[in-house]
Amino acid sequence: MTFNRRATRRQFISNGIVVSGALALGLRGTNLAAEAQTNQPGGPSPIPAAAMGITGPGSLKAHAGAKGLLFGTAVEAQLLSSNVDVAQIVIDQCSILVAENSMKMGPMRPTPTTYSFEGGDALVAFGEAHGIKVRGHNLNWHAQLPRWFNATATRDNARQLLVDHISTVAGHFKGKLHSWDVVNEAVNPPDGRPEGLRNGPWLKLLGPEFIPLAFRTARAADPDVLLTYNDYGIETDSDGDVKKRAAILELVRGMKEDKVPIDAVGIQSHIHVGWSTADSKGLREWMRTLRGLGLKIFVTEMDINDDTWKTNDPAEIDAAVAQTYHDYMDVMVSEPAVAAVLTWGVTDAHTWLAGRRFGPRPHGGGPRPGQVTGQAAGRAAGQAAGQVEVLPPGPPPGQSTQQNRPPERPLLFDANNKPKAAFFTVRDAFDTRTA
Ligand code: XIL
């Protein structure tokens, strides 16, 4: 019997049939198929990277690069220096990196007069040592602000605070970065403002002008870096996502008209398992419109939340996540403006979704049993520093949630640093790009 790959992938979701990642990879009947089926945490035989052909010409960066795309991930320099396996994956697979936290204003600004560049500098040094580009994330956001922010920022000094921060930080990294997320998540139509902007701290202090001010200041500090507006909740054709896309389009269109320097839009891509191409017509059109405005598009923070999946079976979850990655990537890489794809984390052991489950609270909940990771530790550190906690967006409306779920499996490598089926479906999707 020959296996129809596409039909098999559809079955992952429509019938809930458990098909191992190896089958999805077309490895059925080979020794690798047998090995890959044991490739679960605690499974008996880890597959050497070379045997899987996932490095060099088999790497994600090679397959992406052949189609004019960068591939990469969010990571912290601290993790790269303390975990050789993760560092090796990054070296093998990535042509671009982004700091998961260390270049945000909270971590970057221990006091109103000091800057902490260590984490960002170390990531840039790692990138230079291994020929990997680095993105900056981010210069302006409503969350992860410094502990001193609320007591210090006023309507009188906020403009100077914003300009000083961006000039100093973008100036420090001048010439060293591929792109900056200049403004992150400034749109939130549910806040009820006519233009759809988020009623966040910077808006309250400065009004909508904080956005063009941030971009102009970034351009003055680093003339060649690509300036990006980055946001989430724009990846489906749900009412909320459609409204948010429209508001972002108005924002960036207005910036273009006013000659505000902006080069790209970042689509965070924190999506849920089961995201479907049937839900992507509006997304495709929107990306086409952005391209028409001369903007590039980056997939900046991709991961797939499995919280809405109907069972706890890891093999089934991995198959469904792999399917969802493929479907999403298929849509994204077929858009010529898409120039880079980054996941938000390297392995399932270090994901911001760790220790989270959706359930009683609308946007995140308590720890998942048995999961304590570096990410959880990082979050604890962030809280200790008095930063605003950031919770993942909740599941799509109408989807059921389950409590007491096992750890999330949202990335391309499992918690034992082994490639998952999703690795291969993403790589396959890169290969289909004709743009
Ligand atoms: C997350 C980090 O992954 C966590 O470690 C931190 O506790 C909170 O922030 N959107 C963004 C990212 O733009 O900066 C967020 O990163 C995830 C959501």
* Interval 276-299: pLDDT, tens: 999 899 999 999 999 999 999 999
Which one-letter DSSP state was computed for residue 308?
T
Atom of ligand 1 nearest to the CA of 390: 8
The answer on pLDDT for 301 being more than 60 is yes
The maximal CA–CA distance of the chain, rounded, in angstroms, is 72
The whole-number average pLDDT for the span 117-136 is 98
Hey, which residues are catalytic here? 185, 301
> Tell me, what's the pLDDT at 435?
73
Tell me the CA–centroid distance for residue 358 and ligand 1, in Å: 17
Structure-token match 């690069």, residue found: 65
Q: Which amino acid is at 372?
A: V
Q: Strand pairing partners for 229?
A: 183, 265
Tell me the CA–centroid distance for residue 390 and ligand 1, in Å: 6
- The Cα 302–Cα 178 span in angstroms is 18
Helix (H) or strand (E) holding 267, with range, is strand 264-267
Pocket perturbation via mutation, ligand 1, pick of 144, 183, 346 by most ligand atoms within 8 A of CB = 144
373 confidence band (pLDDT: 50, 70, 90): very low
- The Cα 29–Cα 158 span in angstroms is 63
Structure-token match 């743009």, residue found: 435
Pocket perturbation via mutation, ligand 1, pick of 75, 141, 229, 390 by most ligand atoms within 8 A of CB = 390
- The Cα 6–Cα 388 span in angstroms is 43
CB-based burial label for 428 (10 Å; 0-12, 13-18, 19+): buried
Percentage with pLDDT > 90 across the chain: 74
Tell me the CA–centroid distance for residue 302 and ligand 1, in Å: 12
Q: Render 209-262 in DSSP notation, one character per residue.
A: GHHHHHHHHHHHH-TTSEEEEEESS-SS-SHHHHHHHHHHHHHHHHHHHTT---
What is the reported pTM? 0.84
Chain centroid to CA 120: how far? 18
| pLDDT single digits (tens) 71-113 | 999 999 999 999 999 999 999 999 999 999 999 999 999 999 9
CB 35 near ligand 1, within 6 Å: no
Tell me the CA–centroid distance for residue 143 and ligand 1, in Å: 9
Q: Whose Cα sits closest to atom 9 in ligand 1? A: 390
Atom of ligand 1 nearest to the CA of 141: 13
376 confidence band (pLDDT: 50, 70, 90): very low
- The Cα 182–Cα 423 span in angstroms is 29
> Tell me, what's the pLDDT at 354?
85
> Tell me, what's the pLDDT at 389?
57
CB atoms within 10 A of CB 364: 18
CB 231 near ligand 1, within 6 Å: no
404 confidence band (pLDDT: 50, 70, 90): low
Q: Whose Cα sits closest to atom 16 in ligand 1? A: 100
| pLDDT single digits (tens) 128-182 | 999 999 999 999 999 999 999 999 999 999 999 999 999 999 999 999 999 999 9
> Tell me, what's the pLDDT at 279?
85
